[in-house]
Every structure is written in structure tokens, then in C-alpha cells.
Chain A
Amino acid sequence: MTTSSATPAVPRLTPLHDVHSALGASFTDFAGWQMPVRYGSETAEHRAVRTTAGLFDLTHMGEIELVGPGAGAALDFALVGRPSAIGVGRARYSMICAEDGGIIDDLVVYRLADEHYLVVANASNVAVVAPELAARAEGHDVTVTDTSADWALLAVQGPASAEILAPLTDLDVPSLKYYAIDAGTVAGIDVLLARTGYTGEDGFEVYCRPGDAGAVWAALQQAGEPHGLVPAGLACRDTLRLEAGMPLYGHELDRDTTPYEANLGRVVVLDKPDGFVGQAALAKRKEEGPQRVLVGLVSTGRRSPRAGYPVVDPATGAEVGVVTSGSPSPTLERPIAMAYVPPTLAAPGTRLQVSLRGTLEDADVVELPFYSRTR
């Protein structure tokens, strides 16, 4: 878990806080926000998202908007990808890296219009990312604004999501592609509706004004209940993204990690003609190859590897790596983890061990993700 110097002493509440309380939520402090961690059983919430749908409050996420004719060029310079090539109404997963190639944050970049981008940052990093983007945009004809306080974010995730949303929106849900976004209405309220998420399921993220969040939540919950939708907290969001092999900043990604260690080299466009921040370091890292790579581990035992636990090579007994995230997997019904290990020990089928509070437990390297939805 990362902390920021900008984290306020008193946690911020989302506009849905009273709704969560009334639903019996347990709360956790997360990146300066008091967020619902679960409403009842986090395992039941996890299974609902895999089989029907879950409704999340993600208002803690940070939003940064870039407006102006230079927005695309500014983002091409600031990020490792090429946002200028994103079509209007589409989105792309990207990263902002430091000059040395270290990851400052991972992001979703939406192109709302020719000259208007929405960059969604992690709550823990938005206070760093927003000024960094502004600094990197200097010299381009663009304004960069941290609009986090102007947006509430709700997510409907799970196989029933499209069916739940379709009757509530004026947008044509079936034609809204994965990683696309459009402006429309939900329950008559102006929103941005995106087919994105962080669970490994089909699903939608609904950006609305904070004052409208209660009405949007109520409409989604009411429309979703007949389909089996349940409110879902951050605890199941973490196990869902882990099963889907998705990285979490502060765990798999940090300032000492480049996209290449994280097996996310595909997001880096090295040959951008006008250059970008981190280009030289990332080109060098790609050529040399990473010293450690992210792998999936499945344990045969009952106890779960957890973030920070050492990974041991059974052949030598030496510590060779570290777990970044780990949890019992509700879908696989076995402990799963992600870990950084040397490339020589990263092949699927490799038998490793994890030191679980002093006890060595066998764990096998597997292909990521642990879980893929059937389409």
C-alpha cells in the first residue's frame, strides 16, 4: 500500500458514504478515503461479480483532464504509450514513468473528443500524477486540470452488467465496445459510460457528478437486483483483479519497477518520433532484459502467500524473489499469488517455494492470468 504526503489526516468520504453505511458496509482507509471494504461476505461479493454482477463505488480514483489542440502530443510525451493514436470514444491502458523508467502510476486514458482526454489515475498517486502531467505538458497548447473532485465513479461489473444497464441508458449498450466510452444518460442523469473495469469480467464504469451519485447508485442497484447484482467492496475488487492477473500500484508496480519487469512492455511505444519521458532508460531496459519478472504462483497448500513473503528456490534454498500480492482465490479455490522472480525461474511449471511465516510451502509458476472469462 502506498502513502502520499498529500493523504489527509481525516479520511475523505464519497458522496455515497451514507448509502454504504445503510447497507451495513465495513470501511477501510484507502489512500486518504474511507471506502467500503465489504458489505457482508467478500467471497460472496467476489462470486456475484463472476456469475451475475457487483456494484462498486470507485469515487476515490483520480481524474485528470487535458483540453486543447496540443493534448495528444502532450500525452505522447508524458506517457509511455501513444494517446494521440487513440480514436475518439476509445480508451487505452497506459503508464507514466520517471526519467529512469520507473513507474509513477498506471492509468486508463480515455479520448472524449479530438482535443479532450480523461486520464484516470490511482487514488494514491493522483496528487503526484496531476502536477507531473502539467509539468510535462509545458510548451504544448493544452490545459491540464485535476478534476477528481468533479467526478464520482461507479462500476457495474459482471456478466449481467450489459443486461442491467441497457434499459437504463439512452446509449446503445451492445455497440459500446470493450475499452470504449460515450457520453449519455443513466436513469436520465448525464454520465460518461465506459466499458472498462478491473475485475476480469465484462462491465461498465459510470462517471457522474458527485451530486448525482446517489441517484445513479439507486437506479443501478434497483435495476440490478433481479439479475443478482450486489453491492461490492474493495476486498473483492482486489481478489478479482488478482485472479485476472491485473497489477495493483504499490504491489506489482512501483518507482523501482519498469513496465518490462511487469510483463507490460506492450504498453511502451519506444519509437515515438518526438520522444517521451523515460525513453532512453526504457529502451536500455528492453535491450538488456529485466533482472526479475512478474509470475503467477499457485500453491498446493491451504495457507496463502502474502505481499512481502520471500520466494525460495527449492534447488538451492536461496531466497530468489518476493510475493507482491497473494490471497485465497474464490474461483480456483486455492491460494494464488503474483511474485517477482529471476527470469530463469519464471517458466510455467517451475516449482518454487514461498516462506509462509517461517514455513516453506510449495508453489508452482503458472501462466497469468489465473482466470479468464469465457466470452
Chain B
Amino acid sequence: MSNPTDLQYTAEHEWIAADGDIAKVGVTAYAADALGDVVYVDLPAVGSTVTAGESCGELESTKSVSDLYSPVTGEVVEVNEAVDADPSLVNSDPFGEGWLFVVKVSATGEVMDAAAYDALVAS
């Protein structure tokens, strides 16, 4: 499985695309595959504060419900309305159209690069 090298990753299988203090967040292809078909995404509200390492929503698949962890601390400035309407985007394009939310970052959590994340999911 190839994870884009321009992203950062967490052990909870979120990815972060950082641009200055703005971070776009999603879940990895590995996570999407492990979940199965995603049928409902519960995202944090725009304007709410999320905390790195803490649950900020849910991903529900056919078989299970999983917590969505925020990889960063800050204020949510945008959520992906398209993925709310069509949760299968998380499966079909996890690193692209299936992005989840955008945060104005005040503090970052623990992240790793693509090589470290490749090693984590291969283990």
C-alpha cells in the first residue's frame, strides 16, 4: 500500500495535509479498508475546537462504529459536506475527495512521515 509522501500520519490512521497553520485531515486507505464500506460520517462542527489525540467524531461502516481522532488541536474551519452526503468517498478516495475536515492549528500532536507509517501498517 502506498501512502502519499507529502502527508503526515498518526498511529490512529489519520492523515494531515499541512499548509502553514491550516491542516486538512482524513483517514488513510489502510483505515478505510479496515473499516469496510463507510455508511455514515459524524464530523465535528465548524467553529468547534478539536484536541489532538481526542475523539472528535465517528466513522460508521456496515459492520462497526469507530471513533474519529483529531490529529491536531485547533478550531475546525471547514468540513467536507460531500463526504457527509456520500460517505463512500472515504473508501473510494480516502486521500482525495474523501477528506474529512480542516483545522486552524494551535498545537500539533504526534505525527510520522509516510515511510514510518508504511512500516506501521506493514507490521
Contacts and interface: CB of A to CB of B under 8 A. Distances in A.
A239 B62 CA distance: 8
A375 interface: no
Contacts, number: 37
Contact of B36 (A235, A302, A303, A304): A235
B37 A41 contact: yes
Nearest to A239: B62
B63 A303 contact: no
A327 B37 contact: no
Nearest to B34: A26
A239 B91 CA distance: 19
Interface in A1-51: 26, 37-38, 41-43
B80 to A, nearest CB: 16
B90 to A, nearest CB: 12
A158 interface: no
A253 B33 CA distance: 31
B-side interface size class: 10 to 19
Contact of B40 (A41, A302, A357): A302
Nearest to B62: A42
Contacts of B40: 302-304, 328
Contacts of A26: 33-34
A192 B60 CA distance: 40
Contacts of A351: none
A298 to B, nearest CB: 15
Interface of A: 26, 37-38, 41-43, 235, 238-239, 302-304, 306, 327-328, 330, 357
Given A235-B63, A302-B39, A304-B39, 16 more contacts: A41-B91, A42-B36, A42-B37, A235-B62, A238-B63, A239-B62, A303-B40, A303-B42, A303-B60, A303-B65, A304-B60, A306-B65, A327-B63, A328-B40, A328-B60, A357-B65
7 smallest CB-CB distances across A and B, nearest first, come from A328-B39, A43-B37, A302-B40, A41-B37, A42-B62, A42-B36, A303-B40
